[in-house]
Structure 1
Amino acid sequence: MAQRRRQNALDAESRLARQGSHILIVEDDFEIARMLGETLTDNGMIVKMAESGAQMDAALRNQKFDLIVLDVMLPGENGLNICRRLRAGTNIPILMLTALGEEIDRIFGLEIGADDYVTKPFSARELTARIRALLRRTAYAPDERDRSKVLRFDGWLLDPIRRRLYDPNNARVATTTHEFDLLLAFCRNAGRVLTREELLGVTHAGLAGPIERSIDVHISRIRRKIEKDARDPVLLRTVRLGGYIFTATVEEA
């Protein structure tokens, strides 16, 4: 199994390299944007630049992107507002760049829908690793493709192949990459307590430096989407000193 997973990861990496993932960088600092563009281009990605939310919107109207690198401090509309706006209507992975190093600022970025963040100054190697990790997750690990049937719980539908969540009225509900991965993990492990350590492995794919508090943020966002009362969750419960448990009955649709 371990050997198969390693091969799956290599296969996913090979697919990404062949496809030349399209990355939109939203950054108004010319030198940082140039460095990012050169780094990602050298790693086989196809890069487009935008200096503001307005330029980003224009680019998104004309082209499909696989991931957005979004700076917090931008002229006009700031990155946090842009992230919140994007997340209301799209599942595209968003990696935020921020000079704000305090944990509370990072938590806020995750709360409004960012999939990951990198704090300035950052290394090109770390940034590339985090982008590749997010791209792998949205390219679907083969383990997930082997278990690709749509899942149903409490009237909701979760589609692992198209990575979409539908509410009981069949309306699509936007999720971040990490939210979808967590919900999929819960559905596939319904009735079992999952620890925060296990859930960090699901959402960060072994990257160094994830903050455990981020799991609680993602769980809170999932509850606001699937629970009738997020303050009194029934489907996704906290297990004191244990982690979380998904209590819903999950069936293949």
Structure 2
Amino acid sequence: MARIVAFGDWRLDRVTRELIDERGMRSALSGADFSLLQVFLEHAEQVLSREALFDLTRGRPAPPLDRSIDVHVCRLRQRLGEDAQHSQLIRTVRGTGYVLAARVDVIA
């Protein structure tokens, strides 16, 4: 597994679990944010349903009507300096789920 991957204007250090912005500033991710971002990076440019995101991040199916993934996506967008209305990196695909709309490059 690569230690550092780049996407958009961001880099992720998978060992320290830190986001690195274009200025080199680092910020630690929570376990949930890191897991969700990892799934998006592993499935970049693929639409993922809420159910798939829940299963891939938690290793079990989502309970019926569970919307916790929406909360985690919202929080991750905020960490990336975006909001739901104008998100360029994590886009909502209405009626389907979410997609990381960025190319992912291995740095180190």
* Partner residue in 2 for 1:184: 38
Paired residues of 1:193 and 1:239 also in contact (CA < 8 A) = yes
Letter in 2 for 1:237: R
CA RMSD of aligned residues (A): 2.0
Gaps of 5+ in 1: 1-146
Distance of 1:149 and 1:214 partners within structure 2? 28
Q: Distance in 1 between matches of 2:95 and 2:62?
A: 23
Distance across 2 between alignment mates of 1:208 and 1:195: 11
What is the correspondence of 1:136-175 to structure 2 with a 5 Å cutoff? 147-175=1-29
SS at 1:198 equivalent: helix
Distance 1:155 1:173 in 2: 14
Corresponding residue for residue 217 of structure 1? 71
Letter in 2 for 1:240: R
Change (3 A) 1:226 1:238: same
Give, in angstroms, the shift of residue 208 of structure 1: 7.4
What residue in structure 2 maps to residue 251 of structure 1? 105
| 1:32-181 alignment, distance < 5 Å | 147-181=1-35
Kindly provide the amino acid, as one letter, of the partner of residue 189 in structure 1: H
Determine if contact 1:158/1:184 at 8 Å carries over to the other structure: no
Give SS of 2:60's match. coil
SS of the residue 2:69 aligns to: helix
Structure 2, unmatched stretches of 5+, are none
**For 2:91, what is the secondary structure of its paired residue?**
strand
TM-score by length of 2: 0.85
Structure (1/2) with the larger strand percentage:
2
Alignment length, in residue pairs? Answer: 106
Q: What code does the residue aligned with 1:250 have?
A: V
**The residue matched to 2:57 in structure 1 has which SS?**
helix
* Equivalent residue, structure 2, for 1:197: 51
User: Please, what TM-score do these two structures have when normalized by structure 1?
Assistant: 0.39
Task: State the alpha-carbon separation in 2 of the partners of residues 210 and 222 from structure 1.
Answer: 23
Separation in 2, partners of 1:173, 1:162: 10
State which structure, 1 or 2, has the greater radius of gyration over its C-alpha atoms.
Answer: 1
